[in-house]
């Protein structure tokens, strides 16, 4: 882990091909908690109205739309039934050339070194939309094939997307974040990492406050202001997120999963799970295993 923060502990792709594809078809509600990763992310909001957060700024995004998340940027997303969404998460270094050239120097290196940033959103009314969206869709389709020839096509499509953004002057110089803002974001990352690392225990707000060196009251106000949710809400979201993974990937009993995720009351666990997912843990397990 590079920082003690929200860094997502998920491998996107493989060492040889660091790209992951995600498709959401809207079978149930799901919350992608605030996190960051070293990879760039392209998100296609295909259908629906989405609650999207990026660097502590909340957006309501009406599909269809494309969002671009730069490496190292905090972001989160609420997904609801009936919505359609997909994403490509990739390490920009995978597009580098063995033979160094001008495109590497002018386009890829600044992105890799975070000297330039991607446009936050693109919409159908944007001039570049008819060119960008088909390339994204082709890249997503090929990425799901998991073949050597498809991987090469993915890289070509992504490179073309970046070249178009450059040609249309949509890659802009990174602004230096104000020190105060940067300090606030780092504190939120620090608190979130503590929660992610201790979700299996009977963690209390006082534990997080002690770790942060803040009073409980100040920490709660601070966290709510920066993330739009309370510490308790975030703790529950992390625990339910981990429980969801275990329901999908193991055959452990629901009560055992609840205990491992910090809940000693099974009724409360089921209630919190249904509030966040819209279905019970048992129903979620059936749906996820069918997918």
According to the model, what pLDDT value does residue 184 have? 67
Residue 11 belongs to some domain of the structure: no
Backbone φ and ψ of 217, nearest 5°: -60, -45
Q: What is the pLDDT of residue 11?
A: 55
Q: Is residue 117 part of a domain?
A: yes
CA distance 150 to 139: 9
Each of the 291 residues of the chain gets a pLDDT tens digit; together they read: 233 344 455 555 566 688 999 998 888 888 888 888 889 999 999 999 999 998 878 899 998 999 999 988 889 998 998 999 999 999 988 888 777 778 888 888 888 888 888 999 999 999 999 999 999 999 999 999 988 899 999 999 999 999 999 998 898 877 544 444 555 677 888 888 899 899 988 899 999 999 988 888 888 888 887 777 888 999 999 999 899 999 999 999 999 999 999 998 999 999 999 988 889 999 999 888 765
Helix (H, G, I), strand (E, B) or coil at 157: helix
pLDDT for the residue 111: 87
**H helices present in the chain, as ranges:** 102-103, 109-112, 129-143, 148-167, 179-198, 205-212, 216-227, 231-249, 254-260, 266-277, 281-290
Spatial CA neighbour of 66 closest among 117, 136, 12, 13:
136
The CATH number of whichever domain residue 66 belongs to comes to 2.60.120.280
Q: Which of 148, 173, 198 is the last residue of a domain?
A: 173
Residue 26 domain-assigned? yes
Domain that holds residue 214: 179-290
Q: Indicate whether 154 and 192 sit together in one domain.
A: no
pLDDT of residue 114: 84
pLDDT digits (tens, 9 = 90+) for 43-69: 999 999 999 998 878 899 998 999 999
CA distance 289 to 268: 24
User: Do residues 33 and 166 share a domain?
Assistant: yes
Residue 2 pLDDT: 34
Q: Tell me: do 32 and 138 sit in the same domain.
A: yes
Q: Is residue 76 part of a domain?
A: yes
What CATH number has the domain bearing residue 252? 1.10.10.60
- Check whether residue 29 and residue 147 sit in a common domain: yes
Query: Residue 156 and residue 50: Cα distance in Å, rounded?
Result: 29
How many distinct structural domains can be found in the chain? 2
What is the per-residue pLDDT for 3? Answer: 32
Do residue 122 and residue 187 come from a single domain?
no
User: Quick one: 192 and 157 in the same domain?
Assistant: no
Calpha distance 37→90 (Å, rounded): 10
Last residue of a domain, one of 153, 173, 193: 173
In this structure, the answer to whether residues 209 and 169 fall within a common structural domain is no
What b/e string do you get for 77-87 counting C-beta neighbours within 10 Å, with b at 16 or more?
A: bebbeebbbbb
């Amino acid at each position: 882990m590079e920082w003690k923060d929200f860094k997502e502990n998920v491998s996107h792709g493989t060492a040889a091909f660091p790209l992951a594809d995600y498709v959401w078809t809207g079978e149930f509600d799901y919350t992608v908690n605030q996190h960051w990763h070293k990879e760039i992310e392209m998100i296609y909001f295909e259908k629906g109205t989405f609650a999207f957060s990026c660097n502590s700024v909340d957006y309501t995004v009406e599909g269809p739309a494309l969002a671009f998340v730069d490496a190292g940027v905090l972001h989160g997303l609420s997904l609801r039934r009936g919505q359609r969404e997909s994403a490509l998460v990739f390490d920009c270094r995978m597009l580098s050339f063995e033979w160094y050239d001008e495109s590497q120097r002018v386009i890829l290196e600044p992105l890799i070194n975070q000297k330039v940033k991607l446009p936050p959103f693109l919409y159908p009314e944007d001039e570049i939309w008819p060119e960008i969206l088909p390339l994204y869709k082709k890249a997503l389709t090929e990425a799901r094939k998991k073949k050597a020839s498809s991987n090469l096509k993915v890289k070509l499509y992504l490179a073309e997307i970046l070249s178009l953004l450059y040609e249309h002057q949509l890659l802009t110089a990174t602004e230096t974040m104000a020190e105060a803002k940067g300090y606030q974001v780092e504190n939120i990352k620090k608190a979130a990492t503590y929660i992610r690392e201790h979700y299996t225990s009977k963690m209390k707000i006082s534990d997080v406050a002690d770790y942060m060196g803040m009073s409980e009251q100040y920490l709660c106000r601070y966290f709510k202001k920066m993330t739009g949710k309370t510490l308790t809400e975030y703790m529950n979201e992390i625990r339910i997120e981990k429980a969801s993974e275990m329901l999908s990937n193991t055959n452990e009993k629901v009560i055992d999963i609840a205990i491992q995720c910090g809940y000693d009351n099974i009724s409360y666990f089921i209630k919190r799970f249904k509030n966040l997912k819209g279905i019970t843990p048992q129903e979620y397990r059936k749906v996820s295993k069918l997918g």
